[in-house]
Chain A
Amino acid sequence: MSGSTSSVFFGLSTIAYIIAMVLYIGYLAFRKNKVGVVATAVTIVGFISQTLAILLRWKEFYEIGQMGWLRAVPLTNLYESLVFFVWCLILAYLVIEFRYKNRSFGAFITPVAGLVLAFIDISGMSKDIQPLVPALQSNWLLAHVMMSFISYAMFAVSFSTGLMYLIVRTEKRSEPAYLFWTIMLSVFILVLCAMGLDYMTFKISVKSQEELIKGYLFKATFRNSSSAIAFLSLGVSVAFTFFIWRFGGALKKVITGLNISAEILDEITYKSIAMGFPIFTLGGLIFGAIWADQAWGKYWTWDPKETWSLITWFFYAFYLHSRLMRGWKGKKVAMVAVLGFVAVIFTYLGVNLLLSGLHSYGSQ
């Protein structure tokens, strides 16, 4: 059965990315070239098997749906889109590794890939192939969704290089840019940890990951029914943020040791946005609008997803203008790049999971 074959390849790629992560970190620590070569090789193996897995799933979907190849693209639910996002991210990383002949970056990208794939496994997210609802049965599906995710992956790259740029370029703890990146990093880690705790606390009582995030977000920590726990979580968060702020310099030393200059980081940030922005505009906004026009007769309705896409678009348009026209280069634009990706995450996940939760009655 091709279904099991595709999941075998998915499993293989998850394992490969996790091994690659260990190898890349080892390469950073010991600087042995052989380790780096093996890390690259393992990443490529993971990438190939993931490509095969996606293609197999595509074929499977095609055979079940009987609606043509274009409409069988495996990109129609959270699981499939996360997998494709990882695929794009690894592809972007491999391109960067070969272009810039620098492997250090792998230690930052492969963990993201491994974590996302592991998160899919642990969270028990539905991996079933779901038939398409009529609104999704359109040839725009492939172009719209695929281009959106390619641009998201580009923006993810610019996010990490932008953050690294800020880490490398900030000197004083009182600097706004230093405060910005330490708080940003802390919030990111804290939100992930809080969601992990939610999962561990409530996994028995909920059916799906979506329900967990919609109904139980931060219920284990900040929004716990016991105010003592809520305050404790808040206290721990403040302490953690302070810790990152106090010892952020150590991170700077690690990254400076990577042989990546601030200029290259800035260049990669710019180039990935300069690639991602037109792809996002065309695939995400324009194709989305045309599709909506053909399906519902409204190319723009200001629904939360559309509005957040537009806000994201504003962020990156602002990035490009401030950089090109005002000579705003450096830390300020890097902050815009980082914020832009926060908007991307919100467009992709926040709108579906948070806003719809806010508008539902069930969870209260």
Chain B
Amino acid sequence: MEKGKNKSIIDLVWDLFASVKLAVVIFSLIAVTSMVGTVLEQDAEPERNIQVLVKMFGVGHETAHSIYSVFDSLGFMNMYHSWWFVTFLLLFAANLIVCSLDRLPRILKLVRENVRPLSLEHLEKMSIRKSFAIKGSASSIKDDVTSSINKIGFKPSKAAAENGLQFYAEKGNFTRLGVYITHLSILIILAGAIIGLKFGFNGTLNLPEGQTAPVAFKDKGTQVPLGFELRCDNFDVEYYGDSDMPKSYRSWLTILKDGREVLKKVISVNDPLTYEGITFYQSSYGSVGENMNNGIIVLRVISSDGRSNKVNTKIGGTFTIPGSSIEGHVSNFSPALSVDQSGRPFTYDAGLKNPAIHVELPNVGGKPYSGWIFKRYPQTWRLPDGSSVEFLDYWGVEYTGLQVRKDPGVWIVYLGCIIMAAGLYITFFMSHKRLWVNVADGKGAAKIVIGASANRNRAAFERDIEKLAGLLGEATKGENR
């Protein structure tokens, strides 16, 4: 940067953005407002946040209401998307760019600068240094020195020095750029986020079993056309043991393009389906209340001699056991059946948690039979004569809750994350290491001075230098034998 006496406005702005003070101010602004945003529930009903204010300040409802209006008009109720919070983020990005660019030329110079031979006085001042004498002369041991330095992972250059030779090498000078790689990654992530917000959408879709939808719904209920159709063929929940805690829930989805089936997939939480850039995530489920008694009961009826038949019926409908004329009748249904202490069955939930049908068969092995058959408990499927009625599904009464997302920026965000990981690794776990080995001829012995420096993790490099000194001693001993 040119440092003239009369700074132009551009220079002044540049200096302002390059200053660490501004960075601190922006950091603090983002941090403090973010904290407020976690206390006030975002995008919620006004009454919820008024309750929060009542609890926090111990004020009356009226006062809380006026505090709420102030916060609301400032945009705090959806603050992460408010113009001023976005401005903070953009200022942060600008600050990051200018700060990095301001310092980059100097660092680049350091990175390009190659290690050069140094005087002995310089070596004595190094943070890591060793000096000792070994038998031989500079010219006789030079190959040993080179190979010893190679052994600790450096490729040395040679130069003539006073009374002998100097070997010098360096490694990892690019690691000084680690910080800037990390900074760059933050900008890439922000760019990816902006692309996602601009060209993508986030929506939801509650799709009942058996139905097809050409659109998804954004936050405020606006429709977003998908460009194809999505059908939910089936939905199912699997529970942990006897509990009502879901172990997994899955949707069988089909993509239809121009009326033709083009893709089928079973999705579950953590395992979405993507088609033409739009991804469907399993996020919730529920039952369609008004359909509850109109679903299709899917049964597999197996006769005692093993003949089986799949039957679709309804509440009040019938089924026959294959190979016989025995007819069964579904007389009752419960979406969630349990048994009370006196042994009476009752429905404990409106959702499809433990569906059961009551079947009546006038003649099973000569006797009439009636009983409850549970979808979740196969042991209730067997009938006294060895035939069985498997309750496979109660279909058409549940919907699958899907998150629908299109985000062309997500790959840029992922790329930014990878770069950030690399940048952090370089910054914190690698270092710029330099070493010099000066060999000077003396009376019958060579005086060796090692100087070395590392901008990070010096202790580890010190051990390497320790090893190098040991190698040099050994190599020359072998020669004199």
Contacts and interface: CB of A to CB of B under 8 A. Distances in A.
Interface of A: 131, 133-135, 137-138, 274-275, 277-278, 281-282, 286, 289-290, 293-300, 302, 304, 307-308, 310-311, 314-315, 317-318, 321, 325-326, 351, 355, 358-359, 361, 364
A298 B240 CA distance: 27
Interface stretch (B50-58, B322-330, B388-396): B50-58
Contact of B80 (A135, A302, A311): A302
Contacts of B20: 321, 325-326
Nearest to A313: B31
Closest 3 CB pairs of A and B: A297-B405, A134-B269, A304-B38
Contacts of A321: 20, 23
A339 B24 CA distance: 15
A281 B420 contact: yes
Given A277-B428, A298-B202, A361-B51, A286 B420 contact: yes
A317 B89 CA distance: 16
Interface stretch (B66-74, B242-250, B299-307, B360-368): B242-250
B269 A295 contact: yes
Nearest to B21: A326
B39 A311 contact: no
What secondary structure prevails in chain B residues at the interface with A? helix
Contact of A274 (B23, B30, B407, B428): B428
B432 to A, nearest CB: 14
Interface residues of B, number: 50
Contact of A358 (B52, B269, B270, B424): B52
A275 B424 CA distance: 10
B270 A134 contact: yes
What secondary structure prevails in chain A residues at the interface with B? helix
A327 B48 CA distance: 46
B413 interface: yes
Given A297-B202, A297-B403, A318 B421 contact: no
Given A133-B246, A134-B246, A325-B20, A297 B38 contact: no
Given A134-B249, A297-B202, 15 more contacts: A134-B268, A135-B269, A278-B425, A281-B420, A282-B421, A286-B420, A290-B414, A290-B417, A297-B404, A298-B405, A302-B37, A304-B38, A355-B38, A359-B41, A359-B52
A294 B270 contact: yes
A134 B247 contact: yes
Contacts of A300: 193
Contacts of A278: 424-425, 427-429
B417 A286 contact: yes
B441 to A, nearest CB: 40
A142 to B, nearest CB: 14
A137 B283 CA distance: 13
Contacts of B372: none
Given A134-B268, A298-B405, A299-B413, A310 B34 contact: yes
Contact of B37 (A307, A314, A317, A326): A307
B403 A134 contact: no
A137 B271 CA distance: 10
Interface in B410-430: 410, 413-414, 417, 420-421, 424-425, 427-429
B35 interface: yes
Given A135-B269, A138-B270, A326-B20, A318 B27 contact: yes
